[in-house]
A and B are shown apart, each in its own frame.
Chain A
């Protein structure tokens, strides 16, 4: 091996060699070895240095012992941790199972409630229909915008004269209101139902068999407040005024109709109630 090759080899290893040489430099390189039996000069062996050396040695031993104990204890620690984790997993599994059971229960309850809702939807629809029909039949109190027709006998009209409001007049007015789309009509607080008669008994007009006294106040729910001049009601009232001098007025406003007294059928059975409702519905145009 020539010098150049050796130098190149040394250069190639130089960095690593230098690194290792520095890294592993002997701490005691500057201390000359002593001969056999030779002792250090006293200045090098003063008491504090020896004490510190002992202390360092104690620390080193302590560190070693602690390291061993820690390494050995870590097995116990691992086992403990493992056992604890197992325990925790088991506990959490139980919790998860409970939650799953809760979820299943809640899901079943939701299903049941949905089914109930579906079932009750039909019932609700029926109830809605019943309520609607009851309003139309006059069996339920209703309130809302409408018109109030007030009509009175002609001033100074005598009993038996034609200048008084007759049952027939009220019937025509009521029919005109029905035709205008009234959803409910009451005369002097007597709700008209499909079975309500407007008739006279002597000088009195009976509505639902109750005698009324003038002026007659006919409340109609749901009729348009804007009355066309050529409507049946207008023509009728104009005719009554011009022919018989009956004072009348039509006022739009909110009306509140009481529930009518639809008597319990004596002949019809409960099973025929549907047909009866149809009749009542048919009475409202």
Chain B
């Protein structure tokens, strides 16, 4: 519950603060969004399954974001940034879909 409050606070902060994304960070924004969504959906699923754990939430999000950002950075340096970004987004999107499917099964038994 405290994580949900933090999430809402972050959204409000972003809407009010209206930060400008620096140019160098723009390739990482989609990755960050997908990684964040992955963490949120995974957290929601765990919450519903009563398995939620802040420690795992934090570690999984940070590690996913760091690995994804590093992969994109590496890809940019190697000239395959777009392909690496696609791969990262695909994997994270698969996780999102899997977790969303689990949530759906838990909530609607379908």
Measured CB to CB, the closest approach of chain A to B2, in angstroms, equals: 6
Which residues of the other chain, A, contact B10 by a CB distance below 8 angstroms?
Answer: 57-65
Classify the secondary structure of A's interface with B.
helix
Interface of B is mostly: helix
- A61-104 residues at the B interface, CB under 8 angstroms: 61-67, 69-70
Task: Say whether B71 faces chain A, with CB atoms less than 8 Å apart.
Answer: no
B14, A56: Cβ atoms closer than 8 Å: no
Is A160 part of the contact surface with B, judged by Cβ < 8 Å? no
Classify chain B: how many residues form its interface, as a range.
35 or more
CA distance A49 to B58 in the complex (A): 8
Q: Is the CB of B7 within 8 A of A58?
A: yes
With beta carbons under 8 angstroms apart, the residue of B29, B45, B55, B91 that contacts A44 is B55
**A52-B8 Cα distance, complex, nearest whole Å:** 15
Q: Does B50 contact A23, Cβ atoms closer than 8 Å? A: no
For A53, give the chain B residue with the smallest CB separation: B54
> Is the beta-carbon distance between A45 and B91 smaller than 8 angstroms?
no
Q: Are B11 and A67 in contact (CB under 8 A)?
A: no
Given contacts A54-B6, A65-B13, contact A45 B54 (CB under 8 A): yes
Please report B residues at the A interface, Cβ cutoff 8 Å.
2-15, 18-19, 21, 29-30, 32-33, 36-37, 39-40, 42, 45-46, 49-58, 60-62, 91, 94-95, 97-99, 102
Beyond the given pairs A26-B42, A54-B9, A58-B6, 10 more chain A to chain B contacts, judged by CB atoms under 8 angstroms and listed by A's residue number, are A24-B97, A32-B51, A33-B49, A56-B3, A56-B58, A57-B2, A57-B4, A57-B6, A67-B29, A70-B29
